[in-house]
Amino acid sequence: MQPILTSQAQRELDERAATAGIGSLALMESAGRSAAEIILSRVPEIENKRVVIICGRGGNGGDGLVVSRYLQDRSPHISVFLLAQRGQLRSDTATNAAVLEKRGAVSLIYLTDDLSPLQKALAEADVVIDALLGIGLDRPLAGEYSRVIEMINDCKAQCIALDIPSGLSADNGRIFGCAVEAELTIAMEYLKPVHLLFPARHYIGEVAIAAVEYPERARAEINPSAFLVERSDIKSLFPARRIDGHKGDFGRVLVIAGSQGMTGAAILTAQAALRSGAGLVYLAAPQSLNSILETTLIETITIPLPDHQGRLSNLAKEPLLANLREKDVVAIGPGLSRSLQVGNLVRMVLAETRVPVVLDADGIHAFADHLHLLKEVETELILTPHPGELAGLIKVPAAEINADRFVVARSFAQQYNLYLILKGKPTVIASPSGEIFVNPTGNTGLASGGSGDVLTGIIAGLIGQGASSLDAALLGVYLHGFTADLLAVDRAERAILPTDLISFLPQAIFELEGRQKIDEAYRYPCSSRYDRLST
């Protein structure tokens, strides 16, 4: 998994590197050289293009000066602008400015209030490199900085940002008034939260990572704020399947879902649990809907429960408790409705259940005014809210949740001792111990009613097969998004339906898990089954 660092963690890493004998000037040289190599690989025929590099007075500007020195060896058309005076530069940046001036081949201009030289250069530029502010910004921009950013965005040149586009907060998805709109952002060794979180992500463009020569000792001491899940992490998360296993070995999943007008949610959840590999799936739903469910779900065992006007009633309590026995996991919520009786039933089930529970949709809403009861749950709990559903629980606007997903998700998961899957772009998984994982898969094909029900079924099915709650959350979210990505290869994202996800799950699992190999110990000791029988 790829570590994600906050700006503070990045600064601490630089300090530890210095303690280990690698100073800030050497790190700047390493970062700039690596960034220049990426630029040369991404900008064809750079020797024929006019490149403008805009540097600030701090470390990001120093990186830009190193980049300009390496690009100078390939192109005669490099112009460097420093939005500062000589005496304002920080030490390492000043050192690199002096080195560049001594070489003499690059046009190096210190900008004052007169920005017309920069405006003229940008009008003729093919490539502009933003090395203005970097990760240290913590307040809204104004004056010459905002004017320079507007000029960069108004020009027609290809825009490349070093570490992060100027104007963005490194640690969340916030924008400080205005920001550089980059086509390519070159992160220095580690991703930062801003590279993944919206709305700032709109300004990032493609992300490439420049290798920086940090000492291994310093790397080992960093404390990442989160981890990006990678495809190489996924295969090992699939629960094992014994070749002599039977349906009971692969999990008994109980789905409590559905109400009048919302049978689709129950159906999608049950089908997704089956498609993810669960051995037995039971669907507890209002008895008035049973004929619909039995007709559609021929592989699912239906459990008709007493209902009132198509919603589970209080009379469903005892039969529901009876059906909790001998189940390996329970999924609660999709399409249940938000009636008072249903809310009471959901809270009762969580109080009585001792196997993992995946709580989604209307199941989450049952705790909107009873949030304290989540602390009393005595089993592993996975919540799968979108920002609106989480906002209903914690009474914080969804926009604030989206702007600081890592912090909000970590705080909630730790406070209520549960696994939180905060759906969205990107989906964030938080553990009770405070770990944060970011999922990279998925597209707008998931932005339709029912796709969350599919995710709930996948996660429940994986837990039923023996996956831990954390592994099921990581794998389920990745698989859900990966399936949508596979579908988008040859069809429009806007046309992807939740039923498409379910039908394509086998292919997605095959792609991620690979063809399963039969253990040699289980093979027949002859060329074929028929040879064995004939001897």
Count of structural domains, the chain: 2
Whether residues 324 and 405 share a domain: the answer is yes
Whether residues 217 and 240 share a domain: the answer is no
CATH of the domain at 315: 3.40.1190.20
Does residue 243 fall inside a structural domain? yes
Does residue 534 fall inside a structural domain? no
Does residue 323 fall inside a structural domain? yes
Please check the confidence at residue 527 and state whether its pLDDT lies above 80.
no
Residues 66-119: pLDDT tens digits? 999 999 988 889 999 999 888 889 989 999 999 998 887 678 899 988 899 999
Residue that wins the pLDDT comparison between 244 and 403: 244
Question: By mean pLDDT, which of 30-39, 136-145, 391-400, 517-526 is the weakest?
Answer: 517-526
Q: Last residue of some domain: 199, 223, 247?
A: 223
CA–chain centroid gap for 265, Å, is 25
Does residue 452 fall inside a structural domain? yes
Whether residues 160 and 294 share a domain: the answer is no
Please check the confidence at residue 520 and state whether its pLDDT lies above 80.
no
Please check the confidence at residue 153 and state whether its pLDDT lies above 50.
yes
Cis-peptide, bond into residue 426, ω within 30° of zero: yes
Whether residues 52 and 190 share a domain: the answer is yes
Residues 276-295: pLDDT tens digits? 999 999 999 999 999 999 99
Residues 439-471: pLDDT tens digits? 999 999 999 999 999 999 999 999 999 999 999
Burial class (CB in 10 A: 0-12, 13-18, 19+), 508: buried
CA distance 344 to 367: 9
Q: What is the pLDDT of residue 341?
A: 94
CA dihedral 26, 32, 34, 35 (to 10 degrees): 160
Does residue 520 fall inside a structural domain? no
Whether residues 237 and 373 share a domain: the answer is yes
CA distance 322 to 300: 18
Q: What is the pTM of this model?
A: 0.92
CA distance 320 to 257: 12
Q: Last residue of some domain: 192, 223, 254?
A: 223
Does residue 163 fall inside a structural domain? yes
Residues 462-481: b if buried by 16+ CB within 10 A, e if exposed: bbbbbbbbbbbbbbbbbbbb
Give me the helix-helix angle, 91-103 and 59-72, nearest 10°. 20
Whether residues 170 and 286 share a domain: the answer is no
Burial class (CB in 10 A: 0-12, 13-18, 19+), 13: buried
Does residue 523 fall inside a structural domain? no
CATH of the domain at 44: 3.40.50.10260
Q: What is the pLDDT of residue 498?
A: 98
Whether residues 323 and 184 share a domain: the answer is no
Whether 450 and 495 have beta carbons less than 8 Å apart is answered as no
Question: Residue 506 is encoded by which pair of tokens?
Answer: 């086998």
Q: What is the pLDDT of residue 107?
A: 81
Does residue 108 fall inside a structural domain? yes
Q: What is the pLDDT of residue 534?
A: 38
Q: Last residue of some domain: 223, 247, 271?
A: 223
Whether residues 81 and 160 share a domain: the answer is yes
Whether residues 183 and 302 share a domain: the answer is no
Average pLDDT score, the chain: 93
CA distance 380 to 427: 20
Alpha helices, H only, 376-438: 387-394, 398-403, 405-416
Integer CA distances (angstroms), 226 to 7, 12, 193, 431, in order: 13, 16, 8, 11
Whether residues 376 and 503 share a domain: the answer is yes
Whether residues 151 and 246 share a domain: the answer is no
Whether 285 and 347 have beta carbons less than 8 Å apart is answered as no
Band (pLDDT 50/70/90 cuts) for residue 517 is very low
The range of the structural domain enclosing residue 261 comes to 232-513
Whether residues 170 and 191 share a domain: the answer is yes
Whether 105 and 41 have beta carbons less than 8 Å apart is answered as no
Mean pLDDT for 293-300 is: 96
> Long-range contacts of range 236-244, CB-CB < 8 Å, 24 or more positions apart?
237/467, 237/471, 237/474, 237/475, 238/467, 238/475, 238/509, 238/512, 238/513, 239/277, 239/462, 239/465, 239/466, 239/467, 239/471, 240/466, 241/277, 241/465, 241/516, 243/518, 243/519, 243/522, 244/522
